[in-house]
Amino acid sequence: MNPINPMTELPHNPVTHDSTLWYVIQTKPASEHRVEVHLSGQEIAAYLPMLETFHYLKGKMIPKIKPLFPSYLFARLDICAAYYRVKWTRGVNKILGIGGEPIPISELVIQTLRQRTGENNVVRLDDELEKGSIVQFTSGPFKDLTGVFDKRISDGGRVRILLSLIGVDVPVQVSRHQIRKVA
């Protein structure tokens, strides 16, 4: 029987022998960590992928780790047995689905994210910068200007960008986190 809508049956999935599947849980704003702790306390596997971002504070680049998907996390559960426990967990908004019916996501999505995950569940994003790529500055004194990616200077994240000023390409060294690829 379907715990969400008793008038309909849950579809039988003959492929999985385990009745637990991954679902996307929408949380209240900035409650991802709270929900992760509460679900773990209920012995429900929760996965909260994180992303390292950088921002300027008083002229210094400060790293900040925040959720890759703000207000969302993944939980592996048996929807028939744990639906209401999850739905009424403190900080949970809802379990994502269609028409009120929770829809599981593919195990492949979680595996792909976990393969790119490093320390503290921080996801490493692919770096697609190649020589000649057009980039735009996202912060600093060159914010909103465009340039051409030249090369990586160090493993610490420094890169060289050719900035076209008054018809001359001027090499500028900046943090990798101050630019984004445009084309």
Label residue 167 by pLDDT band (50, 70, 90): confident
pLDDT digits (tens, 9 = 90+) for 30-87: 999 999 999 999 999 999 999 887 777 777 777 888 999 999 999 999 999 999 999 9
What is the Cα–Cα distance from 64 to 45, expressed in whole angstroms? Answer: 25
Q: Which two tokens stand for residue 15?
A: 């492929």
129: its two tokens:
């910068």
Give the number of C-alpha atoms closer than 13 A to the C-alpha of residue 167, restricted to the C-beta side. Answer: 0
Domain residue spans of the chain: 21-121, 134-181
Would you list the DSSP string of 3-27?
Answer: SS-TTSPPPP-TT-SS--EEEEEEE
* 34 token code pair: 């709270």
Q: Tokens in use for 119?
A: 């320390």
Position 148 confidence tier, pLDDT thresholds 50, 70, 90: very high
Taking only Cα atoms into account, the Rg of the chain, rounded to an integer number of angstroms, comes to 22
8 Å CB contact between 123 and 50: yes
Q: Which fold has domain 21-121?
A: Alpha-Beta Plaits (3.30.70)
State the architecture of 134-181 in CATH terms: Roll (2.30)
pLDDT in tens, 106-129: 999 999 999 988 888 888 765 678
